[in-house]
């Protein structure tokens, strides 16, 4: 693989099936570690606005308990 292909593949988001394959066997602790490695605003991969937009898209699919947990996670991601 040449550098151009590497960069192209690195920026390509996972398909739903690829994401399922990658994350389905992880424990909650492993998922949280991955989330903070990828989604922390301080790493420059995600902005606070992107996190808010993500939440707005998914909140209607979540239970009240899940919404509260997601709000907490997003607040922590914004400050990490």
Q: Which of 13-17, 19-23, 46-50, 59-63 has the lowest mean pLDDT?
A: 13-17
**Alpha carbon distance, N-terminus to C-terminus of the chain:** 34
**Global pTM value:** 0.65
> Taking the CB of residue 75, how many other CB atoms lie within 10 A of it?
12
Q: Please state the rounded mean pLDDT for residues 17-28.
A: 88
Which residues 6+ apart lie within 8 Å of 40 measured at CB? 46, 77, 80
Say if CB 41 and CB 48 are below 8 A apart. Answer: yes
Q: Residue 22 burial by CB count (10 A; 0-12/13-18/19+): exposed, middle or buried?
A: exposed
* Percent of the chain residues past pLDDT 70, beyond the cut: 85
């Amino acid at each position: 693989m040449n550098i151009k292909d590497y960069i192209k593949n690195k920026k390509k988001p996972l398909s739903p099936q690829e994401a399922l394959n990658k994350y389905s066997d992880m424990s909650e602790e492993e998922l949280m570690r991955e989330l903070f490695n990828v989604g922390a605003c301080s790493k420059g991969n995600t902005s606070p606005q992107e996190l808010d937009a993500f939440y707005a898209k998914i909140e209607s699919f979540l239970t009240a308990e899940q919404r509260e947990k997601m709000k907490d996670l997003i607040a922590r991601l914004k400050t990490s």
